[in-house]
Amino acid sequence: MAVSVKVEKLSKTFGTFVALRDVSIDVRPGELFFLLGPSGCGKTTLLRCIAGFHAPDAGTIRIGDRDVTHVAPHRRDTAMVFQSYALWPHMTLAENVGFGLEMRKVPRAEVRRRALEALDLVHMADRAKLRPNQLSGGQQQRVALARALVVEPQCLLLDEPLSNLDAKLRVEMRADIRHICKRAGLTAIYVTHDQKEALSIADRLAVMRDGAVEQVGTPEEVYRDPADSFVAGFIGEGNFLAGRVSRVSSGTVEVASPCGMFVAAPRVGGFAVGDAVSLCVRPEAVRFDRPAAGAPNVLAGRFVESVYLGEVAQHVLEVPREDGGAQAFKAFELGPAAGRNRSGETASVWVEPGRVIVMRV
């Protein structure tokens, strides 16, 4: 049965380095929850505290209805999948997967049965007699996942499990991991710095910076309504402008920026005239079709760089600023004409108000 994981006001230091600062997260039963952020932000430290490998300086950790803050790792009903697969080279795959059960004094016949069931779950049962050096990286990762699943943990912890795989395998394994976790009915907490990985398979995610949680939400919530410029810049690409609210009306906000007036229709309200804000326009939000007469958020300038990538072309526009300088704007054009390079062309593009993100400073 899936359980919740609740972390409250967790802090952890290593000497003078503060790794976690008053961190709280609430993972729902059966949820695939991601900890996302740059290197050194505290996500792996948080995961290792949940696993019991680090003792926090303050705060509590609950798995289901149990306070496990000071419980030994092997008594927490968790299992961890590491970056390095850590498979025993002298053992077969079945022996690797069953090792944890043997340590728990499970009868040999049951060890064999459950190991084969776990290998079948990751589509590796037909290779049970092979050894790790006979497998590809992706296959070894599947075995490491089976080894964690076989002990039937209440919570599965994954520490950047795909970081050692090539790009193609990472994409394939993303969907597999989500499918396996959902099929097994597991609560899972997954650490990564790869935004695409998080966006593609997380139920919810927490973005971390400098040992603190910046924002928690679904992938769509965090991408479309980032809490601040750091989150917006970390989750996807964006064009950023400082601005000040000049007018607020029903459903829209007008913001004066160095590139002129922007009209936004934010889903989060509470803005007032005079508020200092940051604007973010995602490159894919820039439209290349002709806007209607009087449409807001028209950007006129020129293309200074174009890269054709087949299904998309990535452009850099140079837009005049009111101070006499120029602002570089990234824009993604879906389904571009083959062979067309817009570099040097005059640019006239626009952005719908609902696609302009407004964030408080």
The two tokens of residue 324 are: 């006499």
Q: Domain spans of the chain? A: 5-229, 237-360
Q: Stretch 23-36: mean pLDDT, rounded?
A: 97
Tell me yes or no: is domain 5-229 CATH 3.30.720.110.
Answer: no
3-state secondary structure of 295: coil
Q: Tell me: the pLDDT tens digits for 107-166?
A: 999 999 999 998 988 888 999 999 999 998 888 888 988 898 888 899 999 998 888 778
In this prediction, residue 179 has a pLDDT band, given cuts at 50, 70 and 90, of confident
Residues 6+ apart with CB under 8 A from 322: 258, 259, 260
Is pLDDT at 235 greater than 80 in this prediction? yes
CA pair distance 121, 68, nearest whole angstrom: 29
Q: Tell me: the pLDDT tens digits for 38-58?
A: 999 999 999 999 999 999 999
Is pLDDT at 317 greater than 90 in this prediction? yes
Is pLDDT at 7 greater than 90 in this prediction? yes
* R_g over Cα of the chain: 25
The two tokens of residue 169 are: 């395998």
Q: How far is CA 255 from CA 72, 242, 268, 298, 323, in A?
A: 54, 9, 15, 14, 17
CA pair distance 118, 114, nearest whole angstrom: 6
The pLDDT assigned to 339 comes to 67
The pLDDT assigned to 279 comes to 96
Is the model more confident about 32 or about 341? 32
What's the chain's average pLDDT?
A: 92
The pLDDT assigned to 301 comes to 92
H helices then E strands: how many in the chain?
Answer: 8, 19
Is the model more confident about 59 or about 164? 59
The pLDDT assigned to 53 comes to 96
Q: 237-360 adopts what CATH topology?
A: OB fold (Dihydrolipoamide Acetyltransferase, E2P) (2.40.50)
The pLDDT assigned to 231 comes to 96
CA pair distance 295, 354, nearest whole angstrom: 13
Half-sphere exposure of 186 (CA within 13 A, CB side): 29
Bridge-based pairing of strands 32-36 and 204-209 is parallel
The pLDDT assigned to 17 comes to 96
Q: How far is CA 87 from CA 48, 84, 128, 294, in A?
A: 20, 9, 13, 64
